[in-house]
Chains A and B, each alone.
Chain A
């Protein structure tokens, strides 16, 4: 149980185009989803926190107009990289949490990641 998928697993696009990445919780309802970015040989950096039905909360330094996040349902969140440039090339990972009440913490389940290469 607690499987999170991402699509696509990898994408190559031309500079200036927009790319949409999907994150789905397959067997649970995710009240909260997180989007991370990871550059080669570096750690994960949280980009934004997404709650179903509300606007995403972006971390400092992350451009919300460039990285559009939509959490339209309890099982799907999308990240759209608008007008992508080579410096946006990275590994994007999402995670989802069931948000069960009464627990002292909500475990995050991670997707397999999407490798974006912008030419």
Chain B
């Protein structure tokens, strides 16, 4: 089965800087989603980008998708301490009921 890979595995930046995380996958997809997970908590859905879309924005988030390279990036602009969390991409290649395959995640630390 496909398995997303994310890089970097860990990222530490100063508050106010931009954070970029990348995700790669192996097979064709219907859509790709990004989630945030605070330590020991559940997942929060951030944004979904469909296979026919190239870029999407939501507040301080910008997601790009390059299906030819089977990769996506998540950009968080003007980072805040509250953005400290793990970020996962998840791909959906299934028909019918959504079956997500998660990447390994990037642990983002925003230093005040």
Instruction: Please list the residues of chain A having a beta carbon within 8 angstroms of any beta carbon in chain B.
Output: 4, 6, 31-32, 34, 36, 41-46, 49, 51, 91, 93, 95, 97, 99, 104-113, 115
Main secondary structure of the interface of B (DSSP, over half): strand
Give the distance in Å from the alpha carbon of A115 to the alpha carbon of B105 in the complex: 19
Which residue in chain A gives the minimum CB-CB distance to B6? Answer: A43
B104 vs chain A, min Cβ distance (A):
5
CA distance A104 to B99 in the complex (A): 13
Q: A43 touching B100 by the CB < 8 A rule? A: no
From 76 to 112 in chain B, residues with beta carbon under 8 angstroms from any chain A beta carbon are: 88, 92, 97-105, 107
- What number of B residues sit within 8 Å (CB to CB) of A? 23
Contact B99 A110 (CB under 8 A): no
**Docked-complex contact B42 and A111, CB < 8 angstroms:** yes
Number of A-B contacts (CB under 8 A): 63
Per the 8 Å Cβ criterion, residues 13-43 of B in contact with A are 30-31, 35, 40-43
Whether A105 contacts B48 in the complex (CB less than 8 A), given A49-B99, A97-B98, comes out as: yes
The residues of B that contact A106 with a CB separation of less than 8 Å are 97-98
Tell whether, in the assembled complex, residue B98 and residue A46 are in contact, meaning their CB atoms are under 8 Å apart: no
Complex Cα–Cα for A43 and B35 (A): 11
Given contacts A105-B48, A113-B42, contact A46 B30 (CB under 8 A): no
The verdict on A107 contacting B88 (CB below 8 Å), with A43-B104, A49-B97, A97-B98 known, is no
Minimal beta-carbon separation of A94 from chain B (angstroms): 9
Minimum distance in angstroms from B64 CB to a CB of chain A: 19
